[in-house]
Amino acid sequence: MARKPFRPSLDRYPYHAEVSTRFSDNDVYQHLNNAVYYQFYDAIINQHMMEKTSWNPALKRGEVLSDNAFQKGLVVASSTEYLEIIDGFPKPVTLGLAVTRLGKSSVEYEIGVFQGDKSLPAKALGRFVHCFVDIDTGRTRPEGMPFEIRDCLAKLIVEPLPKL
């Protein structure tokens, strides 16, 4: 299972966030527990959307201008390559967010996980696929994801990394 993955630097990512870690994030070996990375992905992805668009996870139909806006993102796939150990608490973690594929209703994000010196390459690489569906019906809409969200995600598009 040899692997020499390409390790991007923070400047690959159009959107950044710093997140604090918690004592309870560390496992018995004092590393950041592997499941916590996914809490970070969820955080940066939703934070980005809430900051850049009118979307929020508690939308009510009466509050949106059109049915197109009344959608939520369902997670259909997620993955992580853990490239280097992250010390975790009490050190904070820096995240970079990019879009590597933007479909009609779905988006594939790439998240770079960094710690410490920002010139160092990513210590982990995450991927996260959201599919937008109508909040009531749970089905994709004929016109695809909310227009406002598509415009916002389009600004994060980068070239996908070479396949391993």
Task: Name the site residues for its own copies (rule: CB under 8 A).
Answer: 1, 3, 18-24, 26-30, 33-36, 38-40, 42-43, 46-47, 50-51, 57-58, 72, 74-82, 85, 89-90, 101, 103, 106, 108, 129, 131, 138
CA distances in angstroms from 89 to 83, 85, 94, 126, 151, listed in the order given: 18, 13, 13, 20, 36
CB of 79 to its own copies, least distance (A): 3
Residue 132's Cβ-side half-sphere holds a number of Cα atoms within 13 Å equal to: 26
Q: Which residue, 39 or 120, is less far from its own copies as judged by CB? A: 39
Q: Which is nearer to its own copies, 60 or 117 (CB)?
A: 60
Residue with Cβ nearer its own copies (36 or 98): 36
Question: Whose Cβ is closer to its own copies: residue 85's or residue 120's?
Answer: 85
Look-up of token digits 């389009």? 154
Long-range contacts of 1-6 (CB under 8 A, 24+ apart): 3/81, 3/164, 5/81, 5/83, 5/125, 5/164, 6/161, 6/162
| Least CB distance to its own copies at residue 72 (A) | 6
Q: Are 84 and 163 in contact (CB under 8 A)?
A: no
Minimum distance between the CB of residue 23 and its own copies, rounded to whole angstroms? 4
- φ, ψ for residue 82, nearest 5 deg: -90, 105
As measured in angstroms, the least distance from the Cβ of 62 to its own copies is 13
Q: Which is nearer to its own copies, 13 or 127 (CB)?
A: 127
* Closest CB 54 distance from its own copies, rounded Å: 14
